[in-house]
Amino acid sequence: MLAGKVALVTGAGKNIGRAIALSLARDGAKVVVNGRSDAAAIEAVAAEIRAAGGSAEAVLADVSDPDAVARLVAQSGPVDILVCNAGLRRQTPFLEMSLAEWREILSVALDGAFILSRAVLPGMVARGGGSIVALSGISTHVGTPNRAHVSASKAGLEGLMRAIAVEFAPQGIRANCVAPGAVDTARGASAGAMPQGLGREQGIPMRRKATIDEIAAVVRMLAGPEGGYVTGQTIHVNGGSFLG
C-alpha cells in the first residue's frame, strides 16, 4: 500500500522508532532511518529492512539543527510520510530545572518537529499530499512530576499537528499525533526511572504495557491510505489509562 512512498522516521534506531520504520517498510515504503548520534543503531535498522527485501537508508542528523535537517531532507528525496519520533526524556524537579535543560528537551521534540515539517511541507504541497505523524505521550494529559519540560514539548507537538492539519488540509496533507501510554521498551539511563504510576500494569485497565508494534500499527494506519480522512487528531494508545 505504500509502494513508491518515501518515509522519514526520526529517532528510529531503537524501540518505537525502529518498530515504525520496520512497519512502513513492510508495506513498501522506502524508509529513511534517522538518528542523532548512534550510527550503528540506525544502520542496523536499515540493514534489517534491506535483509527483509525492503528499501532503507540510514542518515545521521540532529533534528534541532535546521542546516542538518535541510541536508537530511535533500538526501532523503521527496518525503511523503514524516514521522517525528525523536525526543529526549529527563526527570528533574521543576525548581531544579535549568533553562538550558528546558531548552534541550524542547529543541528535539518540538523544535525538531517544526524544523522537519517546514522542510518537507513544500514538497508535499507540490505533489498534492502527504502525512505527518508526531509521537506525543500520556504524561501531557495525566500530569507527572519532574517532567515539566517533557510534558510541555509533547503538548506543543499536539498543538503543532493541529495547526498544520488545518492549514494544509486543502493541499491533501494530514497531520496527527499518537500518544502512547506505558510501553514495553528499553529505557535509556538518561530518562531516569519510570514516573510513578505510569508504568505499573495494575494501574492500567488492560493490565499490561503496550508493545512497540501496537504503537507502530497506529502510526502506520495514520500514515497510509486507511487514515485518509483523519487529520488534526491525537490518537491515544494506552490500554485505558487515559480516556481522551
In a domain, 114, yes or no: yes
Letter string b/e over residues 168-205, b meaning 16 or more CB atoms within 10 A of that residue's CB: beeeebbbbbbbbbbbebeeeeebeeebeebbeeeebe
Assigned domain for 76 exists: yes
pLDDT at 201: 77
**91 has pLDDT over 80:** yes
Amino acid at 21: A
pLDDT(221) > 80: yes
Max distance between CA atoms of the chain, in angstroms, equals 51
> Does pLDDT of 194 surpass 70?
no
User: Which triple of cell numbers denotes residue 114?
Assistant: 517544526
Which CATH number characterizes residue 18's domain?
Answer: 3.40.50.720
Is the residue at 243 inside a domain?
no
In the sheet that holds 30-35, the strands lie side by side as 55-60, 30-35, 6-9, 81-84, 130-135, 173-180, 234-237
Taking a C-beta distance cutoff of 8 angstroms, is the pair 228, 81 a contact? Answer: no
Q: How confident is the model at residue 193 (pLDDT cuts 50, 70, 90)?
A: low
| Statement: residue 188 has pLDDT above 60 | no
**pLDDT tens figures, 119-166:** 999 999 999 999 999 999 988 888 788 999 999 999 999 999 999 999
Confidence band of 210 (pLDDT split at 50, 70, 90): very high
Average pLDDT score over residue span 62-90? 96
- 186 compared with 173, residue with greater pLDDT: 173
Number of domains in the chain: 1
Q: Please return the burial class of 74, using the count of CB atoms within 10 Å of its CB with bins 0-12, 13-18 and 19+.
A: exposed
In a domain, 244, yes or no: no
Position 70 confidence tier, pLDDT thresholds 50, 70, 90: very high
Residue 53 contacts by C-beta under 8 Å, 6 or more apart in sequence?
Answer: none
pLDDT of residue 27: 97
Q: Does some domain include residue 193?
A: yes
Determine the Cα–Cα distance for residues 102 and 150; give it in Å rounded to an integer. Answer: 8
Residue 136 lies in a domain: yes
User: Which pLDDT value is given to residue 187?
Assistant: 55
State which residues form the domain around 50.
Answer: 6-237
Q: Is residue 242 part of a domain?
A: no
Residue 172 forms part of a structural domain:
yes
Q: What is the mean pLDDT of the chain?
A: 93
